[in-house]
Structure 1
Amino acid sequence: MDPLSLTTLLAAAAMAGWVDAVVGGGGLLLLPALLVAAPGVPVATALGTNKLAAIAGTSTAAVAYARRTKIDWAVAGPAAGLAVVTAGLGAALAGVVPASAYRPVVLGVLVAVAVFVVARPRLGVVAQPQRRTRGRVVAAVAVAGLVVAGYDGLIGPGTGTFLVVAFTVLVGADFVHGSAMAKVVNAGTNLGALVVFAATGHVWWLLGLAMAVCNVVGAALGARMALRRGAGFVRVVLLAVVVVLVAKLGYDQWVA
Structure 2
Amino acid sequence: MGLDILTDDSLSPFRHGFFARKGGASSGIYQGLNCGHGSSDQTACVDLNRARVAEALGVEKTHLLTAHQVHSPDVIHVTGPLSQPLPKADALVTATPGLAIGALSADCQPVLFADTKAGVIGAAHAGSRGALTGVLEATIDAMENIGAGRENIAAVIGPSISQPAYEVGPDFQEEFLDQDPENQQFFKNGQGDRLQFDLPGYGLHRLRKAGIGTARWVGECTYSDPSRFYSWRRACHNNERDYGRLIASIRI
Do the structures match in fold with TM over 0.5?
Answer: no
| Greater RCO (CA < 8 Å, at least 6 residues apart) | 1
More helix by share: 1
More strand by share: 2
Q: Please, what TM-score do these two structures have when normalized by structure 2?
A: 0.28
